[in-house]
Structure 1
Amino acid sequence: MLTGVQAVLFDKDGTLFDFAASWSAWAAALLHRLSDGDTARAAAMAQAIRFDLAAGQFLHDSPVIAGTMDEPVRLLAPFLPDWTADALKTYLFRSAALAEMVPPVPLAPLMQGLRARKLVLGVATNDAESIARDHLTRAGILDQFAHVLGYDSGFTPKPAPDMLLGFANFTGLEAGRVVMVGDSTHDLVAGRAAGMQTVAVLTGMATQADLAPYADLVLPDIGHLPQALA
């Protein structure tokens, strides 16, 4: 049961955007480009980031799913001796910013409806802030959010609560009046640690059984959020 909510803080990947629909094709194309036609290298890199090349999707235990951009850089760098870590990170940033994000529901009317309820909206993602802003801009909803925070915005990434507490501080709201909406245990553990209410959605790679112990509510997707808040 959600009570007294004054703000909604969204995760991005797997929450505002369906994770598999948004990132699987991007990852497959990335591995193809980086391997430069070397199928053995592509297979080794896929194994490192826990990506099933045959199925074209991330495995549920992939550290890339809820991690920061530093994770794929760390995992892929050993297979790319001709790349510096900085060059690889820059390449991944540019590539990720252009990834085609697929929302689970129409986002603009949903965000406008939440704003009409006088709710403050924000984003707290383990992606980079610049990439998040690019994705939200292309989705036509960047202006709906009071604050967009990434792993490189000056806070310890989730599952630490720092980013979430930063949002509460920026808005001047009590943490208990904020609901954290996410698709991973990282999101929900951070929300609980921050003293926020927590809502899980099933548009990421985690199951209801994974998320339920950490969530006040589990919803199919964020399109069910207005009813839950009512």
Structure 2
Amino acid sequence: MPVDALLFDKDGTLFEFGETWNSWAQEMLKELSQGDEARAEAMAQVISFDRSKGEFNPDSLVIAGTNGEVAAVLAPLVPQMQEAELERFLARSAATAALSEAVPLAEFLDGLLARGKVLGVMTNDAEISAISQLERSGVLDRFAFVAGFDSGHGEKPAADPLLAFCTATGVSPARTAMVGDSLHDLEAGAAAGMTRIGVLTGMALHEDLAPHADVVLPNIGHIPGWLDR
């Protein structure tokens, strides 16, 4: 079945996960711990962030979880904020994170649009973060659909937000590919009846993704070549 539309995850897919989020995490922990070293370390442990290496571990909730889920585990260690306030803080903070594009996005996306593909983004990050980051990269206008976990369609690994993209664009799931770096992305794609493209710009390894994907590529830049095959 031809692929007429591609729905991208954001973190670890459009943007390199580690290069974007490791430095953000260090600043976030520093600010929320208010200089309390023990509290900073406890917070790092509950989100599985290795402070000695300055990077997330592959099992971190942050990789595919929502801001709400991250706020829930951090809240007991952040007494100066209510959980809802903490969730809003995480969304605002993420919206300003330094970005590392997996490939030069404008050129890549324009190439897909020139092929007549319909493009969208579905992330378990907040919608405000997704829109801010795509705007800062100068590519927001390339997407016909942008949704976060809080956009009213649900969150991955459920199929609902992926099917919302199909409803919004008029492209059937069978002619749509879900592109992502995590099992959440690929499981959602399977549940929605979409082609599943795994990429290795997140924390998962090829052997993690391969059993759940139709193809695993080094990064999104390899998609045009895969489409040609």
Aligned: 1:137 with 2:135: yes
CA distances 1:115-141 after superposition (whole Å, capped 9, x unpaired):
000000000111111110000000010
CA shift for structure 1 position 82: 2.2
CA shift for structure 1 position 71: 1.7
- Equivalent in the alignment of 1:91: 89
Cα RMSD for the two superposed structures: 0.8
Q: 2:195 aligns with which of 194, 197, 202?
A: 197
CA shift for structure 1 position 28: 0.8
CA shift for structure 1 position 142: 0.3
Q: 1:33 aligns with which of 10, 31, 34?
A: 31
- Equivalent in the alignment of 2:45: 47
- Equivalent in the alignment of 1:229: 227
Q: Is the 8 A contact 2:91 2:125 kept in 1?
A: no
Instruction: Please state whether the residue corresponding to 2:134 is helix, strand or coil.
Output: helix
Residue identity in the other structure for 1:108: A
Q: Is the 8 A contact 2:179 2:196 kept in 1?
A: yes
- Equivalent in the alignment of 2:65: 67
Q: 1:117 aligns with which of 115, 118, 132?
A: 115
Structure 1 stretches lacking a partner, 5+ long:
none
Between the two proteins, the alignment pairs up a number of residues equal to 228
Instruction: Please state whether the residue corresponding to 1:154 is helix, strand or coil.
Output: coil
- Equivalent in the alignment of 2:205: 207
- Equivalent in the alignment of 1:57: 55
Instruction: Please state whether the residue corresponding to 1:16 is helix, strand or coil.
Output: coil
CA shift for structure 1 position 157: 0.5
Q: Distance in 2 between matches of 1:173 and 1:86?
A: 36
TM-score (norm 2): 0.98
Q: Is the 8 A contact 2:8 2:180 kept in 1?
A: yes
- Equivalent in the alignment of 1:106: 104
CA distances 1:54-101 after superposition (whole Å, capped 9, x unpaired):
000001111111011112211111011221112212221211110011
TM-score (norm 1): 0.97
